[in-house]
A and B are shown apart, each in its own frame.
Chain A
């Protein structure tokens, strides 16, 4: 009897999938980004409008939901492909534009260039992504298909080489060879700590046990971080394939995706993906006809931020309180239910298929020698282009913020960039030329963390920012260990006093000491990294702390207790009184000469008057220290 190999089975699947995907290309196709970012911007209404208009006009056009392509600032996004034209991508699509596009482009042949952002295929009429400045820096490995393929249809993934790596692994590679490949690729975990994947898998593989587990950490508790969600919403099979390969390597038959229940869309898309994978035999028994069995389940977490820490995550999966435990033993030796467990981040698993398919050398050729591959960031804050970016490790912060993010809006000055989520560090202008990689960031006092990147400008007070991030970690401390439970509270109290102008210079020394001790002495990485925002702001922005303490002045005019609002009489106009109505506490009065002034006793510093004063007058200013000018 002829044995059908995994690769043969795969080739069959792929041929079928490609035929299906190709057949879609002979009629017009509208793709709409309905990841959470798209939905929040109104993608569903846009989709409905397209559907209605297309139906009204009796056109033969397909509509397809896709994930996020990383240009979140321009959502809702729509991509229209029509035979005879390159595919065009349109940003900030509303109902009006949707109607116009159906009318002009789909019914007639006018692609409405004035609204198009970019064309997807090379052509000689309209710019493509390669003409964007950010294209020179971006390198998409895990985001390559995000936003372009239908996450709800496994055949779209298969048509783009999906599950080829699994077939290759099952047929051509022994588990040891996969481990060598992962080790050679230099892939480090993307959940924050950057632990080498080859080492983790090898430890788990070499721990003898009948039962082993694979867990994908999709807890993503960092406020403002959403790349794991996006990967799962836009291309869930990539992660599933990575988990399958990991399971085959270490000898596990059961896996879980631990995902927070605030991600309903991601959960729904994973569920669909799991069902479809099971249907065609990619999950379950004898996968691709091999002796390898594996199945996956979703575990919905509803825990605190600290539940993303691996030992707390496993405790909460076991029905216990989500509280971190001391290591060793390591997860790979004794994890879920005391069994050897590979626990990796969403992005870590998502890289695996590419590494197996294209080889370790390919992956190693991207990035730096100690941090290979790409880094995925959510770029937010005071930057023109917010969104999801994937760049090779080693890209500088300056390139990321000024070339890809296109700099600071409203002609403001850059002040700092906070990298790595709430427990990351704040780096100043002088550190912008350091390469983004695990070790360089750590050296500068920041961390890769979850890949959150917040840009701060001249209006951000670094003491208040440090306090803001610390407040988050302090509240999220599980309270188990002394340094984190009590130390973060004392640091927060000191920072609060400084922002209120009640600090003393001795506080800076205490802060520094406490921060160093908490970093060294805490039990888990929440406590060990919580002091980073303080250590880095003390290191790079000490002058701001001193201004608060010695002069009662907040240089960014952000700390409410250290500022007052003042209407500059020379700029104020007798003919205008918009600020008067904007004040919620009637603190603004008209002076005898008709100009406006603020009753400082009543003012609650809400900022309304400053916002409403028309730009041609620009008469309201903030003063720090809060001292009125002498007449």
Chain B
């Protein structure tokens, strides 16, 4: 870890270690920045959800807090018209690809999308865009938990724990472009994959794509 430094986030002085990523420094100081794909332990952040934009003084464009290292004297604003606009658009884009039926969802009230909407006063429905139709088969083969890909936001948290934490390698990202999704290798059912049913992936899923059956109601 580098040396201790001071920076300013939203007019508050906070301390951190040089080289730390801004997103985690902010969150640890109770300053909320929306995020889905960030994993603190990951050396190279995937930076794919595009929700954690902030303004850094002296930078011409908003940057993603998950990739930005802190430095002494850094001045950060987590909100600005440009940031709010990017977050609003990224959020609505994610919603347009997410089966939006909160009332029927097991993660209702503990969902990360709902939290972002609440924190940033964003609508939990589409205002400008039409929903993208995407119907994927639900995988109930494990019994103890269910995978419903049409709620998945492609954050990759489940893939990370599967590969790096429990080191099973049952799932991964497959396909390109609009077809990108999380599947088992080969695309079959979880029950036919090396999955051990440990449930770590379910615990880290920020939305209702992976959920334990006892909570399904």
Determine if A479 is an interface residue (Cβ-Cβ < 8 Å): yes
Residues on the A chain within 8 Å of B93, using CB: 482-483, 486-487, 490
Our pick among B86, B128, B154 for the contact of A520 (Cβ within 8 Å) is B86
How far apart are the CA atoms of A477 and B64 in the complex, in Å?
20
Give bound CA distance, A485 to B175, whole Å: 12
A428 to chain B, nearest CB (A): 28
Interface-central residue, B48, B53, B62, B132, by most chain A CB under 10 Å? B48
Whether A128 sits at the interface, judged by CB under 8 Å, is no
Does any Cβ of B come within 8 Å of A325's Cβ? yes
* Contact (A482, B94) CB under 8 Å given A325-B44, A487-B89: yes
> Which 5 residue pairs of A and B lie closest in terms of their CB atoms, listed nearest first?
A479-B180, A326-B47, A486-B93, A517-B89, A479-B177
- Docked CA distance A328–B69 (Å): 10
Report the contact-size class of chain A (Cβ under 8 Å from the partner): 20 to 34
In the complex with contacts A326-B64, A486-B96, A520-B61, A480-B48 CB distance below 8 A: yes
Q: Are B177 and A517 in contact (CB under 8 A)?
A: no
- Asked if B97 CB lies within 8 Å of chain A CBs, one says yes
Q: Which residues of A contact B85 (CB under 8 A)?
A: 513, 517
The answer for the CA separation of A321 and B46 in the assembled complex, in Å, is 14
Q: Is B1 an interface residue (CB 8 A)?
A: no
**B187 within 8 Å of A by Cβ?**
no
Chain B residues proximal to chain A, CB less than 8 Å: 44-51, 53, 61-62, 64, 67, 82, 85-86, 89-90, 93-94, 96-97, 128-130, 132, 154, 173, 175-180
A481 near B48 (CB under 8 angstroms)?
A: yes
Interface of A is mostly: helix
With contacts A474-B177, A514-B89, A520-B86 known, is A486 near B46, CB below 8 A? no
Q: Which of B46, B64, B129, B177 lies in contact with A485, CB distance below 8 A? A: B177
B178 touches A479 (CB 8 A): yes
Given A474-B177, A520-B61, A520-B62, A490 and B96 contact (CB-CB distance below 8 Å): yes
A478 touches B177 (CB 8 A): yes
A475 to B179, CA, bound (A): 10
Query: How many whole Å from B24's CB to the nearest CB in chain A?
Result: 15
Contact digits for A473-509, partner B, Cβ 8 Å, 1 yes 0 no: 0111111111101110110010000000000000000
**Once the chains bind, are A480 and B130 in contact (CB under 8 Å)?**
no
Q: Is A587 an interface residue (CB 8 A)?
A: no
What separation, in Å, do the CA atoms of A490 and B132 have in the docked complex?
8
21 contacts between A and B (CB under 8 A): A321-B173, A325-B44, A326-B44, A326-B64, A327-B67, A474-B178, A478-B176, A479-B177, A480-B46, A481-B48, A482-B90, A483-B50, A483-B90, A483-B93, A489-B178, A493-B130, A517-B89, A520-B82, A521-B53, A522-B50, A523-B50
Most buried by B among A325, A477, A478, A517: A517
8 additional contacts (CB under 8 A) given A304-B176, A482-B94: A480-B180, A482-B49, A486-B132, A513-B85, A513-B89, A514-B89, A521-B50, A521-B86
Flag A517-529 by CB within 8 Å of B: 1 or 0 each: 1001111000000
Q: Which residues of B contact A523 (CB under 8 A)?
A: 47-48, 50
Residues of B with C-beta under 8 A to A628 = none
Q: How far is the CA of A481 from the CA of B93 in the complex (A)?
A: 11
A478 to B48 Cα, complex, angstroms: 11
Chain A residue numbers with a CB within 8 Å of B179 are 479
Q: Are A521 and B90 closer than 8 Å at their CB atoms?
A: yes
Bound CA span A326–B85, Å = 21
Q: Is the CB of B178 within 8 A of A521?
A: no
Contacts of B49 in A (CB 8 A): 481-482
- The answer to the question of A280 belonging to the interface, with a C-beta cut-off of 8 Å to chain B, is no
A contact residues around B51 at 8 Å (CB): 482
**B94 contacts across to A, CB distance below 8 A:** 482, 486
Counting CB contacts under 8 A, is A112 at the interface? no
- Could you say which residues of chain B place their CB within 8 Å of the CB of A493? 130
- Residues B132 and A482 in contact, CB atoms below 8 Å apart: no
A24 interface residue, CB < 8 Å from B? no
* 8 A Cβ contacts from A4-20 to B: none
CA A327 to CA B44, docked complex, whole Å: 9
A307 to chain B, nearest CB (A): 11
Chain A, range 581-615, C-beta contacts under 8 Å to B? none
Is B180 in contact with A485, judged by CB distance below 8 angstroms?
yes
CA separation between A523 and B62, bound complex, in Å? 12
Distance in Å: Cβ of A525 to nearest Cβ of chain B: 13
In the complex, how many angstroms separate the beta carbon of B177 from the nearest chain A beta carbon? 4
Look across to chain B and name the residue whose beta carbon is closest to the beta carbon of A478.
Answer: B176
**When chains A and B are docked, how far (Å) is the Cα of A476 from the Cα of B180?**
12
User: Please, how many angstroms separate the alpha-carbon atoms of A325 and B49 in the complex?
Assistant: 13
Q: A489: which B residues are within 8 A, CB to CB?
A: 132, 178
Question: Cβ of B64: which chain A residues have Cβ within 8 Å of it?
Answer: 326
Is A576 at the interface (CB under 8 A from chain B)? no
Distance of A514 Cα from B130 Cα, bound (Å): 13
- B97 CB to nearest A CB, Å: 5
In chain A, positions 514-564 with a C-beta closer than 8 Å to chain B are: 514, 517, 520-523
Given A477-B177, A482-B50, A523-B48: A510 and B128 interface contact (C-beta under 8 Å): yes
Residue in B46, B61, B89 whose beta carbon sits within 8 Å of that of A483 in the complex: B89
Least Cβ distance of A438 to chain B in Å?
17
Chain B residues lying within 8 Å of A477, measured Cβ to Cβ, are 176-178
Chain B residues in 8 Å Cβ range of A482:
48-51, 90, 93-94
| Central interface residue in B53, B64, B128, B130, by most chain A CB within 10 Å | B128
Q: Which residues of B contact A485 (CB under 8 A)?
A: 154, 177-178, 180
Nearest B residue (CB) for A304: B176
How far is it, in angstroms, between the C-alpha of A321 and the C-alpha of B174 when the chains are bound?
9
A479 / chain B contacts, CB cutoff of 8 Å: 154, 175-180
